[in-house]
Amino acid sequence: MSVMPSPSGREAPIVLIVAKAPVEGRVKTRLATTLGSERATMLAVAMLLDTLEGCRRVFADVGFLCPADADAPLLRELAGSTTPIVVQEGAGLGSALTTGVRFALDRGRAAIMVSSDIPGVPPGSLEATAAHLAGGADVVLGPGHDGGYWLIAMREEHPELFAGIAWSTGSVLDATLACCLALGLDVRLVERWRDIDTELDVAALADVAETLPGARTRAVLSHPLPTVQAAHKPEVSVP
């Protein structure tokens, strides 16, 4: 494990993976309609653990940011009893991200928040994030193929970035970048990546599954998915 450079003389960033407990019937509900509830849950667990492993390879302090106290026991069971669990204050993704930023800043650290719905962390992306923060960037974003972002990091609190955002839409990244511009913030981007939320997301990864960084996710996606038709594969790729 390596600890990345400290931004502005601080200790290395705190990483929080945004996740809820992968309980069957509660996670990946859109995928469950085609993959089946059990397999969709298996995929959620695989992505969560692959993301946790990928973050731990780079940073010493990695925890979970979850929506409710009830999520904590299963997350700890999956990740280990010493894994920090931060429960968000308020409701919605904006409140969750605000909670995560404050948790890190209250400890004198920069905050990096990562989605748990990705097929492992793209190689070099966390190192690049830490380097951008250490170099003075105010905000770092990891764009998503769906118009959102899979990573956001910052050295100071900027609550405006989480206010008035139409979450779960294709405008999230553009709205966040526009807000950064209006605030005069130095924003940097790292690798574009994909959340796996729908059948089309699974289809887009079918031909590149063997190259994904997450071994558990690769294993789940390696089996034929008869409900995903090749003709429906979008013309996009994952680097």
Give the confidence band of 63 by pLDDT, cuts at 50, 70, 90.
Answer: very high
pLDDT in tens, 176-218: 999 999 999 999 999 999 999 988 899 888 778 889 999 999 9
Exposure string for 29-58, b = 16+ CB within 10 A, e = fewer: eebbeebebebbbbbbbbbbbbbbbbbbeb
| 64: pLDDT strictly greater than 50 | yes
What is the mean pLDDT of the segment spanning 34-50? Answer: 93
Give the confidence band of 80 by pLDDT, cuts at 50, 70, 90.
Answer: very high
Residue 122: predicted pLDDT: 96
Q: In what order do the strands lie in the sheet with 85-87?
A: 85-87, 62-66, 14-18, 111-115, 149-154, 139-143, 187-189
Give the confidence band of 48 by pLDDT, cuts at 50, 70, 90.
Answer: very high
In the chain, domain spans: 10-232
Residue 87: predicted pLDDT: 97
Residue 152: predicted pLDDT: 98
| 130: pLDDT strictly greater than 50 | yes
Provide the CATH number for the domain formed by 10-232 in this structure.
3.90.550.10
Residue 66: predicted pLDDT: 97
Residue 225: predicted pLDDT: 56
pLDDT in tens, 145-157: 999 999 999 999 9
Residue 211: predicted pLDDT: 92
What is the mean pLDDT of the segment spanning 95-112? Answer: 97
Distance between CA atoms of residues 42 and 132, nearest Å:
34
